[in-house]
Chain A
Amino acid sequence: MATLKVNSIQDTSSNQYGFKNGTVIQVRNYMYSDTHARSGNSEERLPNILGNGLAVITTHSNKNHIMLETTIQSGQVNTWTHMLYRFYYKLGEGGSWTQWTDANMNTYQWNQNYHGVMRSTSNMSIFDPAYKGNIYFRITQSGNNNGDGLHLNKCNSDSQDTARNEFSVASTMTLSEIWQDS
């Protein structure tokens, strides 16, 4: 059978026919696999690419939506830990950081007298940025007033309070662009 080769296919309204409302047209993934420990309960940015504001996706249209999926590897040392993670975005380099509350998430675990245990927690969210171009993301963490703090990616099976990522886990942020016709 003959093969037809073209650069694009559009309908009579100039919509690209290959994509329909809701089609995922690109995926970007950002990850951090070092350990990172913080005490206290003030709001702080997560380390490196998860918190420095350089995680980015470039939308192809101001109609398209963004889907976020995040996995936080939340380790624990002694007692218990409860963390609130907040998500922020800004439109373009010169934009302002805006909290995206729909994506906010919590982690919690309690395992007194043992170290190195860990829980993986994930979220998912979709929003309409109404923007074409670079959209930047960052995550912050706030600890519970009475709980132990953040032990990101910290895990081991021999109950050690050390900065080890024994099982090579990664905390990740995945951004997808979702096509919208209008």
Chain B
Amino acid sequence: MSTVKTNAILRPADDRVYFRKSGAIIQAKRAAYYTSEYNNTSQNNLYDMPGNLGDGTASITPYFSNSRILFTSVLHPGCETTWRANFFRTYYKIGSGSWTQFAGGFGSTLYCNTNGVARTLKSTYMLGTLNTTSAVYFKIQHIGHQSGGYLHLNLNSTSGSGGGNQGSVASTIFLQEVAQ
């Protein structure tokens, strides 16, 4: 088969470029998904988030080595009748390499006198070029405040319940490859 090589492919009507350009999202995927209610009473201790939010299996395989990765997490921390302060650290590793923390961390503070109130928390961070076409893995770790650091992931209730995922919300990680 013949191969045609060119540095621009345009459509005839208006000469607009058909192929990827710098900044185009060329891959978007949901990489982690957790819908159970998860409670952890450990305070001021760092630990992996439950399921594939924290087990290191969330991944994306870039098509191009110079692409950048846009990391987005959506978490749903709930609250009991007091206050909760939760901090989240974010890590990646390339293939079987070592975990590297990146500055995609984020936090949540809730102060309430009703069980089950909750807030959806979305955070986004664009990583630099990782120079790889191997799978890149991601995970989130949690550490709670020493005095109000319980985590009530996916707990939500509009009727004052201290347990349950009324809205069937899903805590997730999304990964997008951004062409350069």
Point out residues on A near B: beta carbons under 8 Å.
1-7, 9, 18, 20-24, 41, 67, 80, 82, 84-86, 101-102, 104-110, 119, 121-126, 142-147, 176, 178
Q: How many A-B residue pairs have CB under 8 A?
A: 136
Check B119 against A121 for contact (C-beta < 8 Å): yes
- With a CB–CB cut-off of 8 A, which chain B residues contact A23? 24-28
Encoded as 1 (CB less than 8 Å from any A CB) or 0, chain B from 150 to 171 comes to 0000001011100000111110
Q: Is A22 in contact with B122, judged by CB distance below 8 angstroms?
A: no
16 example contacts (A-B, Cβ-Cβ < 8 A) are as follows A3-B8, A6-B11, A22-B27, A101-B167, A102-B168, A104-B167, A105-B120, A105-B167, A106-B156, A121-B122, A125-B30, A125-B74, A144-B117, A144-B159, A145-B160, A176-B28
Tell me the smallest distance from the CB of A69 to a CB of chain B, in Å. 8
Instruction: Name the B residues within 8 Å of A101 (CB-CB).
Output: 35, 167-170
A7 to B159, CA, bound (A): 57
Contact call B158/A41, Cβ cutoff below 8 A = yes
Decide if B158 touches A5 in the complex (CB within 8 Å): no
Interface window among B38-46, B108-116, B137-145: B108-116
- The answer to the question of B89 belonging to the interface, with a C-beta cut-off of 8 Å to chain A, is no
Q: Which of B7, B18, B25, B30 contacts A9 (CB 8 A)?
A: B18
User: Are the C-beta atoms of B111 and A110 separated by less than 8 Å?
Assistant: yes
B172 at the A interface (CB under 8 A): yes
A72 to B176 alpha-carbon distance, docked (Å): 23
Q: A104 and B168 in contact (CB under 8 A), knowing A5-B12, A20-B63, A24-B28?
A: yes
Determine if B26 and A1 form an interchain contact, defined as CB atoms under 8 angstroms apart: no
Nearest opposing residue in chain B for A43, CB measure? B158
In the assembled complex, B79 has its CB within 8 A of some CB on chain A: yes
Contacts of A85 in B (CB 8 A): 167
State the Cβ distance, A99 to closest chain B Cβ, in Å: 8
| Chain A: CB-nearest residue to B173 | A124
A125 touching B117, Cβ below 8 Å: no
CA distance in complex: A9, B5 (Å): 13
Q: How far is the CB of A127 from chain B (nearest CB, A)?
A: 9
List the 6 closest pairs (A to B, CB-CB), nearest first.
Answer: A22-B27, A101-B168, A105-B120, A106-B118, A104-B167, A122-B122
Residues of B within 8 A of A (CB): 4, 6-12, 18-19, 24-30, 33, 35, 63, 72, 74, 76, 78-79, 110-112, 114, 116-120, 122, 156, 158-160, 166-170, 172, 174, 176-177
Contact A123 B117 (CB under 8 A): no
Given contacts A22-B27, A107-B119, contact A5 B111 (CB under 8 A): no
Chain A min CB distance to B24 (Å): 8
Report chain A residues within 8 Å CB of B158: 41, 82, 84, 142-145
Query: Are B170 and A102 in touch, CB under 8 angstroms?
Result: yes
Cβ–Cβ contact B28 & A146, under 8 A: no
Apart from A23-B28, A106-B118, A122-B120: 11 A-B pairs, beta carbons within 8 A: A4-B9, A6-B11, A80-B114, A80-B117, A86-B167, A105-B167, A106-B119, A109-B119, A119-B119, A124-B174, A144-B159
